[in-house]
């Protein structure tokens, strides 16, 4: 599971295993074995280095659920951009309510 999450964030950042290895100071083979699920229990120290390099909290690397990987990457990029632009959870909920209202009035 950690391997899937690691690979997801590495690819989302546009990094190869070689690039991540160089930036984090961790061997390519070790990163590859984590991503492929061969190394099932990497140390917290290694995971922290990888999380820092990917600019994500360690908790996100550890708690990210595999079913979330099914979300289309384009959607995730849009949501991340909206958050970067200042969209709050409250704003997002208001948009959902607006679309529900609009959908209800046009059916």
Please tell me the CATH code under which domain 2-70 is placed: 1.10.260.40
* Predicted local distance difference test score (pLDDT) of residue 66: 47
Query: Is there a contact between 21 and 27 (Cβ–Cβ < 8 Å)?
Result: yes
Tokens of 40: 């099932």
Q: Please give the Cα distance from 29 to 17 (Å, whole number).
A: 9
pLDDT tens-place string over residues 26-73: 999 999 999 998 998 898 899 999 999 999 988 888 875 545 454 556
| pLDDT score of 64 | 54
Can you give the pTM of this predicted structure? Answer: 0.60
Per-residue burial over 35-61, b if 16 or more Cβ lie within 10 Å, else e, is beeebeebeeebbebbbebbebeeeeb
25 confidence band (pLDDT: 50, 70, 90): very high
């Amino acid at each position: 599971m950690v391997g899937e999450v690691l690979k997801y964030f590495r690819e989302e950042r546009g990094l190869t295993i070689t690039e991540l290895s160089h930036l984090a100071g961790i061997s390519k083979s070790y990163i590859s074995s984590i991503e492929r699920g061969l190394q099932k229990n990497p140390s917290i120290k290694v995971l922290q280095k990888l999380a820092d390099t990917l600019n994500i909290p360690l908790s996100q690397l550890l708690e990210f659920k595999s079913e979330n990987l099914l979300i289309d990457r384009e959607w995730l990029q849009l949501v991340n951009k909206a958050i970067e632009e200042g969209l709050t959870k409250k704003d997002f909920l208001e948009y959902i309510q607006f679309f529900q209202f609009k959908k209800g009035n046009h059916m």
